[in-house]
Amino acid sequence: MSVQFGRWNFEGRPPSPDFVEKVSATLAPYGPDSNETYSKGGVQILYRAFRTTKESHRETQPHISPSGAVITWDGRLDNRAELISELRNVLAFDSTDVAIVAAAYEKWGPNFYAKLIGDWALSIWSPVDRSLLLVKDPIGTRHLYYSFDKNQVTWSTVLDPLVRFAGKTFALNEEYIAGWFSMFPAVHLTPCVGIHAVPPSSSVLLRPGKHTVSKYWDFDPTKSIRYRTDAEYEEHFRTVFAKAVQRRLRSDRPILAELSGGRDSSSIVCMADTIIARGAAENPRLDTVSMYDDSEPNWNERPYFTKVEEKRGRTGWHINVCPQDPKDKPTPEPPPESPNSRFVPTLGYDGRPSPQFGMCLVSQGNRVVLSGIGGDETMGGVPTPTPELEDLLARGQFGALAHQLKVWALEKKKPWFHLFFEAGRNFFPPALVGIPKHMRPPAWLQSKFVKRHWAALTGYPSRTKLFGPLPSFQGNVATLDALRRQLARTALPFEPSFEKRYPYLDRGLLEFMFAIPREQLVRPTQRRSLMRRALVGIVPDEILNKKRKAFVARSPLVRISKEWTHWAEMTQHMVSSSLGIVDSERVLEALQKGRRGEEVPTITLMRTLFLEEWLRDLRKLGIVNLHTTQKAELAWQASIQG
């Protein structure tokens, strides 16, 4: 994942050399392969490459198009062949990705983004009409942030230089904080009021006095795929899934795949091996890395990832993530980075992998990591009949609805009217039917904070529309939006750098999954029905047919007990309490319950503790005003308009 940075001073004054030097040094760990710049007319653009494909070694960025547009591209273009064919008059068959993007921009103008399939973030500075265009792909796997005022615009892949070198302090964005309690904040938010993230599938047009955010593409709710037999769905699935994996095997170095032993990661590895065996992949080798913790009785995945290793005839890299006593560690971990050196926007993780994972990457020469994120959500991993029942309700197919209610009631061992209520409640406003218990804000948040940010704290709930797109389609899009929020908060890795790729979030694969009947994904006696049927003979049967079991990690509760003094002292003078976010006494009560082994919302509790540590680091950094900030966004908007 290469990194880009730019600053445009409207009056034409170039940034100071000292500023440029500091920004370049900040970007260096993420893009070690080049250090390129563009400077003209008050615009300074920096680009640091992290090369993962053979074509990327021939790129020079920033790239100047024939019309004079200055383009920086961080991405992987999956439909290269198709675009080169359409642009064959100006491109060669081995053109670089950025050259293809530039040619597409020159031919089709600023509405060409939907033609670009892949994972990417793009900036285009046009000296002709004095405009800046920032664009991201529909899924949002790459980062791109920006800030602006009446004098300048600044944009960057990495948030840190936008914050530390702005020459001012920022107000803390409360909604961003609230989003962490419901897993992740909205995609356009950052921790700082006045700094924004480019949303997925959107373009941002910036000119002096103008700021426009536009959505350029979305999934088509009218697209429908219907076959006569299961076998036809299975064949189509194998085709699009193989394509999704193949696209992410484009690399000039060995690729590393995460192999947990679950269906998602195992299916990626086994399909990749099939593609490589028939000579359809560009990369020279696929390695695997598996993590295990034998101290967790509910997480014994070693037998399953071993099955995949046996099938492929290769043992991967194994990492023991079981908490160890310091005296048992073979080598000491490096000391934590000074809080005054970098701005970290992600709670609990700054982007540096564990020493064991870093050693794995370096020793094998891996620069690309395949991840199974998204598989559970898009492949029918959650065995709920609700989307199917909602579709039958919306279509008025009451006979089929009655039959499916009976079948699912027997499978779920629930009264049919409970399932009917679960299906029907989503058609009503959340304020009327309430929020499910597992989505409610934790009890230790202060009431005023909860009232101000109820939507963010409950995961931005929405009402399912009875008319228009099928409810299952609406649910698919909502699930994808949650995944987009997760990707937007994934810290950019460094020391060592690597690029993460997500086969289950392939645009073509998602379009197929969103267009087929819901009953193909989940059936009363078979979750992940289509995936399991289609991958027979490719993935070991032991993995395809493994039973799902609840995973309850004990390590957070063990950590609370072992580090009790630290956490108890933290609750005495909490920054988050002084900001009106949490009630420190109730946090202490929850910690005491966890210490005693009682039931507590462990994930939310740990995030509360990580939030407190993060806020304390921000206080030391001194670039964010840690005061009550619910009016800060309105004040900032008023200053821009003024």
For residue 323, pLDDT beyond 80: no
Q: Is 34 left (phi over 0), alpha (psi -120 to 50) or beta?
A: beta
Q: Give the pLDDT of residue 331.
A: 47
Distances 8 to 12, 127, 148, 431 between C-alpha atoms, Å: 8, 11, 9, 45
Homologous superfamily in CATH for domain 230-333+346-379+483-544: HUPs (3.40.50.620)
Average pLDDT value over all residues in the chain:
90
Q: Give the pLDDT of residue 479.
A: 94
- Choose from 352-361, 378-387, 408-417 the range with maximum mean pLDDT: 352-361
Confidence of residue 432 (pLDDT cuts 50, 70, 90): confident
For residue 495, pLDDT beyond 80: yes
Confidence of residue 433 (pLDDT cuts 50, 70, 90): confident
Q: What is the mean pLDDT of residues 20-31?
A: 95
For residue 152, pLDDT beyond 80: yes
Distance CA 244, CA 506 (A): 6
pLDDT digits over 271-280, tens only? 999 999 999 9
For residue 589, pLDDT beyond 50: yes
For residue 597, pLDDT beyond 90: no
Instruction: Evaluate whether 115 touches 108 at the Cβ level (below 8 Å).
Output: yes
For residue 121, pLDDT beyond 80: yes
Instruction: Evaluate whether 374 touches 188 at the Cβ level (below 8 Å).
Output: no
Instruction: Evaluate whether 361 touches 496 at the Cβ level (below 8 Å).
Output: yes
The distance in angstroms from the start CA to the end CA of the chain is 38
Domain boundaries, the chain: 3-215, 230-333+346-379+483-544, 555-625
Q: Give the pLDDT of residue 548.
A: 63
Determine the residue type at 410: L
Q: Give the pLDDT of residue 332.
A: 45
Q: What is the mean pLDDT of residues 561-586?
A: 91
Q: Give the pLDDT of residue 302.
A: 86
Q: Give the pLDDT of residue 330.
A: 47
Q: What angle do CA 416, 422, 426 make, to 5 degrees?
A: 150
Q: Give the pLDDT of residue 335.
A: 45
Instruction: Evaluate whether 160 touches 195 at the Cβ level (below 8 Å).
Output: no
Confidence of residue 640 (pLDDT cuts 50, 70, 90): very low
Determine the residue type at 26: T
pLDDT digits over 598-610, tens only? 888 888 999 999 9
Candidate from 12-16, 248-252, 394-398, 554-558 with smallest mean pLDDT: 554-558
pLDDT digits over 515-564, tens only? 999 999 999 888 899 999 999 999 999 999 887 654 555 667 777 888 88
For residue 92, pLDDT beyond 80: yes
> 3-215 has which CATH code?
3.60.20.10
Instruction: Evaluate whether 194 touches 170 at the Cβ level (below 8 Å).
Output: yes
Distance CA 328, CA 432 (A): 55
> Of the candidates 74, 90, 89, which has an alpha carbon nearest to the alpha carbon of residue 156?
74
Q: Give the pLDDT of residue 636.
A: 44
Beta-sheet strands, E only, within 365-426: 368-370
Q: Give the pLDDT of residue 338.
A: 45
Q: Do domains 3-215 and 230-333+346-379+483-544 have the same CATH topology?
A: no
Name the pTM for this structure.
Answer: 0.93
Distance CA 174, CA 591 (A): 24
Strands 152-156 and 145-148: antiparallel
For residue 266, pLDDT beyond 80: yes
Higher per-residue confidence, 191 vs 624 = 191
Confidence of residue 163 (pLDDT cuts 50, 70, 90): very high
Strands 286-292 and 255-258: parallel
Buried b (16+ CB within 10 A) or exposed e, 531-555: bbbbbeebbbeebbebeeeeeeeeb
Q: How many CA atoms lie within 13 A of 444 on its CB side?
A: 25
